[in-house]
Structure 1
Amino acid sequence: MRRVLRNLLVDAVFFLFAIVFTVLIADSVLPDDLSPAAEATENAVWLVACLAVFARRRWPVLIAAALIVAGTWLHLLTGPTLVALFTVAAHRPPRVTAWVTALAMAPAPLAVAQHLLDPEPDRFVRGIVYFLLVLGAVGWGLYTRSRRQLIASLRERAERAAIDARRQAREDMAREMHDVLAHRLSLLSVHAGALEFNPTAPPAEVRRAAAVIRESAHQALDDLRDVIGVLRSAGDTGRPQPVLTDLERLAEESRTAGTRVVLDQRVADPGAAPAAAGRTAYRIVQEALTNARKHAAGAPVTVTVRGGPGTGLTVEVGNPVRGGGAPGPIPGAGQGLIGLAERASLAGGRLEHHRSADRFTLTAWLPWPAAGGGP
């Protein structure tokens, strides 16, 4: 509705332009010996041409061609003709505009030849002004068309960028959900499996395992609720993201679940690590511990973190291929290492993994600018 009103307003402005333009030039273009019948015909055709402005978007080429041809005999059609030429240039392809412009400029050579044979300065000047006005109307229309196309292109590019950003945000959230929930649920599975494997465990140990299961399930539900909230609102839950200093807490969680974790923290000031590098390092270690519980239950895991400003942050996680733990392997989607490689790449780093006959090693390098800052 808003666009319709805007178009009507623009058409009304062009209608007034055609009328005012004709009123201003009428005395100079109408012959003095014009008969009353001819004058009435001029006025009637001119009024119809002005009203045709309101149909210019539907039949721009037809209206322009008709006005150009009629203008070779009539004198008051310059204003509507300029509007029609502008519309053709603004709304039709350049090839069509070129043909219509050529039709409008066709009398130019004849006017020049006639002036050379029978010089009439006033008539010749009026012809020059007319052709300049034609070129001006066409040029303005071409400019309007190119500007409209540019705006449409920028809008389309912005919409595409917004769609890409939303898709990237959802991919990031899916990756985050995989890392967090896989860690929580693997802890839960380890303790539940331990209870199943050792049903005669002392009551105190059973209570402790049940408490860990309950806490892990509660945290998993909280994490899932946060993920769903972000997906719905496309915003931030406000929960703090993990940093490098949280690795000790992560290792302690795994120790509580029965995994022997040795954390070798060789970073002088972990709190100064860039947020992106610290968060990515945390998720890499988290996924590595989850994979160790899945595929080598009971095996000891060694986590080494070293580096600093200028040299980058190196994270290395290693564990034996086979563990000595109780429960069987925990099912997984097989996307963990792929997701970690993508996460490291997005952070500007790289990730490699190597499996020998008896050991699996995961190594990641993340950038740490010399200034000590980071994104």
Structure 2
Amino acid sequence: MTASTTPTAPTPPAEPRATAPTRARRVGREIAAIVSVGLAGALIFIINFGLSVDSGADDTALRFAGIFFLDLLLGLLAVGLVPLRRYVPLTTAILLAVAAALSSFAVPAALLALVSLATHRRTRDIAIATAVWLVSGAAAALLGLDLIGAPLAPVDLAITLAVTALLLAVAIAIGVSIGSRRALVASLQERAILVEEEQRLREDAARDHERARIAREMHDSLAHRLSLTAMHASALRYRDDLDADERAAVVETVHDNARASLGELRDILAVVRAPGSAESDHPQPTLDDLEALIATVTAATSVDTRIAVDTASLSPTVSRHAYRIVQECLTNARRHAPGAPVTLTVAGTVGDRLALTVRNPLPADAQTPTHAQAPTPGFGLIGIDERVRAVQGTLDITPGPDEFRVEVSLPWSISA
């Protein structure tokens, strides 16, 4: 019996650990982001500070200094919070949006946080962050909480909000585009992994199929000859009544079967050693070789052969399987009913079906192993059933009390 193996679902690949170069690149990117938004924020802060001085706002020096340091402090704090956008994107975007309403220094950091949030493509989170940005910006402009110091007129407020909304739309579009590209790359990578896994499973299945085929061929070809060798060798051991000529004939039979077994084993090993070699590259016996097969067993088993079939138009594949089926039936008969006569019938007509029948009487002690029995290889009738199913045939095994019968019906030809 061959052990059946149940294919297991492919194991998802483990999340790759960050290597030292990967961590270094991440740290480098974060430092570059912090430096970039810091420099951009400082530039905007300086420009805004210059505008506040040129505007000649009539604020007291104390109020001006307070707003100045508040802008600078919030800007530096916003720059420091930039790395958090990777871990809590919505919270970071909201905090920096509020900071941007009060600090020109914080605007680049807040825009970067919004871009990072948009890469996740969560509409609700993007809407919340955008609303917080617009509401806090409008409130700060109405209250005059910036370096210019004076509340904006309605027209100026509308223009400011329109420009801010346009700026936010650009940032969101950039973030969504980056997120879509990342999702596409991840999808392609996942698909490539699945394709690779499917290919591996197909290769494993092909290897398993090839192993099973080789094992079946080894059983079908070697078990027959080895069982003959074991039986004749046993005769040499237990038959004291053999004369010199009979003993020499048995020794010659053992020698011939051993040599033939070695040759077949070499052929099989040649297939194993040559990946990709087709089964058809190594000629296999067919029903045309049936007489030679029967000749190897008649010394130990009487075979009554009734063959009425013209193999010229028979499918080569069907003919090969039929030969192996007959070979296995003869081996089983010799193993389980040693010395009992075997009746073999092979019949069929062109365009019809090929019928094989193998019968042998069962001895009274059929369940008791004899010294002439070869070890059971483990395939036997299962191998016959596999070959019958391989060519869409039918198999009927009848183990009666006095006779064991195997009836096989195979199609005359099979579709390619």
TM over 0.5: same fold? yes
Q: Contact 1:42–1:76 (CA<8 Å) still a contact in 2?
A: no
User: Given the alignment of the two structures, is residue 360 of structure 1 paired with residue 404 of structure 2, yes or no?
Assistant: yes
Q: Within 5 A, what are the aligned runs for 1:295-374?
A: 295-307=336-348, 311-322=352-363, 328-333=372-377, 335-369=379-413, 374=416
User: Given the alignment of the two structures, is residue 264 of structure 1 paired with residue 288 of structure 2, yes or no?
Assistant: no
Q: 1:174 to 1:111 in 2, by over 3 A?
A: same
Q: What is aligned with 1:133?
A: 174
Structure 1 residue 171 displacement after superposition: 2.4
Q: 1:44 to 1:178 in 2, by over 3 A?
A: same
Structure 1 residue 210 displacement after superposition: 1.0
Q: After the TM superposition, which of the residue ranges 285-294 and 32-41 deviates more from structure 2?
A: 32-41
Question: What is the percent sequence identity of the aligned residues?
Answer: 26
Q: Contact 1:292–1:319 (CA<8 Å) still a contact in 2?
A: yes
Structure 1 residue 126 displacement after superposition: 2.0
What code does the residue aligned with 1:363 have?
E
Q: What is aligned with 1:177?
A: 218
Q: Contact 2:93–2:117 (CA<8 Å) still a contact in 1?
A: no
Q: What is aligned with 2:288?
A: 245
CA distance in structure 1 between the aligned counterparts of 2:206 and 2:49, rounded to whole angstroms: 69
CA distance in structure 2 between the aligned counterparts of 1:60 and 1:198, rounded to whole angstroms: 92
2:186 to 115, 122, 145: 145
What code does the residue aligned with 1:239 have?
H
Q: After the TM superposition, which of the residue ranges 291-300 and 254-263 deviates more from structure 2?
A: 254-263
Q: 1:60 to 1:204 in 2, by over 3 A?
A: farther
Q: What is aligned with 1:62?
A: 87
Q: After the TM superposition, which of the residue ranges 4-13 and 335-344 deviates more from structure 2?
A: 4-13
1:293 to 334, 357, 370: 334
Structure 1 residue 183 displacement after superposition: 0.3
CA distance in structure 2 between the aligned counterparts of 1:12 and 1:69, rounded to whole angstroms: 24
**What's the CA shift string for 1:287-338, capped at 9, x where partnerless?**
1010111122233323333446754443222222239xx9754442554112
Q: After the TM superposition, which of the residue ranges 148-157 and 195-204 deviates more from structure 2?
A: 195-204
CA distance in structure 2 between the aligned counterparts of 1:343 and 1:82, rounded to whole angstroms: 65
User: Given the alignment of the two structures, is residue 273 of structure 1 paired with residue 315 of structure 2, yes or no?
Assistant: yes
CA distance in structure 1 between the aligned counterparts of 2:351 and 2:168, rounded to whole angstroms: 74
What code does the residue aligned with 2:108 have?
L
Structure 1 residue 105 displacement after superposition: 4.0
2:158 to 110, 114, 119: 119
Larger Rg: 2
What code does the residue aligned with 1:108 have?
T
CA distance in structure 2 between the aligned counterparts of 1:228 and 1:310, rounded to whole angstroms: 37
Q: Within 5 A, what are the aligned runs for 1:37-116?
A: 61-62=86-87, 64=89, 68=93, 71-72=96-97, 73=100, 74-77=106-109, 78=111, 82=115, 86=119, 102-110=124-132
**What's the CA shift string for 1:271-291, capped at 9, x where partnerless?**
x4142x222222111110101
Q: 1:14 to 1:328 in 2, by over 3 A?
A: same
Q: Contact 1:295–1:330 (CA<8 Å) still a contact in 2?
A: no
CA distance in structure 1 between the aligned counterparts of 2:85 and 2:275, rounded to whole angstroms: 45
Q: Contact 2:329–2:358 (CA<8 Å) still a contact in 1?
A: yes
Structure 1 residue 213 displacement after superposition: 0.4
Q: Contact 2:287–2:311 (CA<8 Å) still a contact in 1?
A: no
Unaligned runs of 5+ in 2: 1-17, 51-67, 101-105, 139-153, 365-369
Q: What is aligned with 1:33?
A: 48
TM-score (norm 2): 0.64
Q: Contact 1:260–1:298 (CA<8 Å) still a contact in 2?
A: no
Structure 1 residue 185 displacement after superposition: 0.9
CA distance in structure 1 between the aligned counterparts of 2:409 and 2:28, rounded to whole angstroms: 65
Q: What is aligned with 1:56?
A: none
